[in-house]
Structure 1
Amino acid sequence: MEQTINIEQIFGILRKYRRLILSSTVVCTLLAVVITFFLITPQYSASTELLVNRKQSADANVQWNQVQTDVQMINTYKDLITKPVIMGSVADKINKGNSHKFSDSEISEMISVSNNQNSQVFSITAKADNAYTAADIVNTTAQTFQKKAPKIMSGTDNVSIISEAKPNLTPVSPKRNLNVLIGLILGIVLGIGAAFLRELTDKTVKDESFLTDDLGLTSLGVVNNIAEKDLIKKAIMSVNGSRLSRRG
């Protein structure tokens, strides 16, 4: 036997289990707030940009070839920047005077390098739990790479720093408003899901039509549900009435 639910029943279920839905929404939202604001460590980002551009020849064809070569070299530079030959020197400079010591692999994981297609500019970005640390790592990496690149690439001196990173005190993660909104929506969805699950698994008889229409039984009458307090009240009135009749 298939059980179908119409729109009126859906709203009836939502009204019936409104406390369950509200409780689920509040709990999930509070969990999202606690996790976002107190358990997740904020991450800060800083970026610097470098230009790959050697001294151009007066010949237009040579200029074009040089530009294309510089663009292609960016892919090599992107791989080279995160290698120990660069990261080792960066770690040595960052760790001077700092209580927390970073390894070259830790710094490499903090850094990402990106560029737009056919652009001679590429960016170095670092994420850390401190805005000043992120900016320091990025600037040190850019300076170290600019200094070491000509030696590693056999005298190819074509890297210039065009912008230095500054500490950005606004965290890039977690996305606090988004996380709270996700917690709110998740709470509503879970609450509604639990409400329908309870309703669909409830096998109690809810109305007389189920007995007569679905089961084909004959209705002999309806016994109303009487609250316990009403039963006690009627019992007291009955006892008092009996006492008065005896006295009379």
Structure 2
Amino acid sequence: MEETISLKDIAHTLRKRIMLISLIAAVAVAVSGIISYFILTPVYQASTQILVNQKTGQQPTLDANQIRTNVDIINTYSVIIKSPTILDKVVENYNLQQSTESLMGKITVNSEQNAQVFNLTIQDEDPAQAVLIANAISETFSEEVPTIMNVDNVKVLSPAVLKDNPSPIKPKPLLNIAIALVVGIMAGVGIAFLLEYLDNTIKTEEDIQTVLQLPVLGVIPKIMVEDEKAPLNRKASKRMGSETLES
């Protein structure tokens, strides 16, 4: 026999397991909050903009082909700026207490579509250090590109600046807590339905017909203790009433 689940059954299961679902969601939110606020280290970000323009000595006007060439060459520059050729000099010249490999992992290079500008972004646990590294890499890159590529078409357009009260880009506690709440609710609902599925006890007449495939001949109502005492209480009340009339 094919088993079907109605919306009423789903609502009943959710109501019955609401405490379990709430507990799992609360635990997920608490764990996410503790990790976000007290365990994860804040990471700050600093960015510089680098302009790729025409070669020095050319006419000031740029045609479409020259702009397209500058845009295409940004892809090459994105590789060069993260290469050991540039980063080794940055580590050496600025006495950075980190390896070239770790410095490479902090760099993100991206460019706007059809633009002659690309952004160099550095992430670090210290906001001042992030600004220092971003400016150091962009300056070193602009100095070394003429030698590496035999061109002089790179200029630092906008250096990184340290703000008064920098805000970390991660972690984002509120976002993490919101995600944990959604995940906790989903996990709680899943566990609730799993427990309901594993519960093979027979509770209602429908369960008898579905599981045993037998007709229900009758139902014995559940009798509470108060219901059992009710006839005795009525007899005692009548007896007391009779005694009062006789007296």
Equivalent positions of 1:56-205 (< 5 A) are: 57-58=58-59, 63-95=63-95, 101-154=97-150, 156-167=151-162, 169-205=166-202
Q: Which moved more, 1:130-139 or 1:216-225?
A: 216-225
> What is the TM-score when the length of structure 1 is the normalising length?
0.80
How many residues in Structure 1 have an aligned counterpart in Structure 2?
226
Displacement of 1:64 in angstroms is 4.7
Q: Which SS does the other structure have where 2:49 is aligned?
A: strand
Over 3 Å counting, the alpha-carbon distance change for 1:10 and 1:73 in structure 2 is closer
Displacement of 1:181 in angstroms is 0.8
CA distance in 1, matches of 2:52, 2:204: 79
Displacement of 1:56 in angstroms is 6.2
Over 3 Å counting, the alpha-carbon distance change for 1:160 and 1:212 in structure 2 is closer
Decide whether the 8 Å contact of 1:211 with 1:219 is kept in 2: no
Displacement of 1:19 in angstroms is 0.8
CA distance in 2, matches of 1:185, 1:191: 10
CA distance in 2, matches of 1:146, 1:206: 78
Q: Which moved more, 1:200-209 or 1:66-75?
A: 66-75
Displacement of 1:189 in angstroms is 0.9
Decide whether the 8 Å contact of 1:208 with 1:219 is kept in 2: no
Residue equivalent to 2:5: 5
Q: Which SS does the other structure have where 1:95 is aligned?
A: coil
Aligned-pair identity (%) = 34
Q: Over aligned residues, Cα RMSD in angstroms? A: 2.8
Pick aligned residue for 1:222 from 215, 220, 223? 220
* Residue 38, structure 1, aligned to residue 32, structure 2: no
Q: Which moved more, 1:205-214 or 1:49-58?
A: 205-214
Residue equivalent to 2:243: none
Decide whether the 8 Å contact of 1:212 with 1:219 is kept in 2: no
CA distance in 1, matches of 2:185, 2:76: 50
Cα deviation digits, residues 11-41 of structure 1 (max 9, x gap): 2111111111111111111111122222222
Which structure 1 segments of 5+ residues have no match?
Answer: 238-248
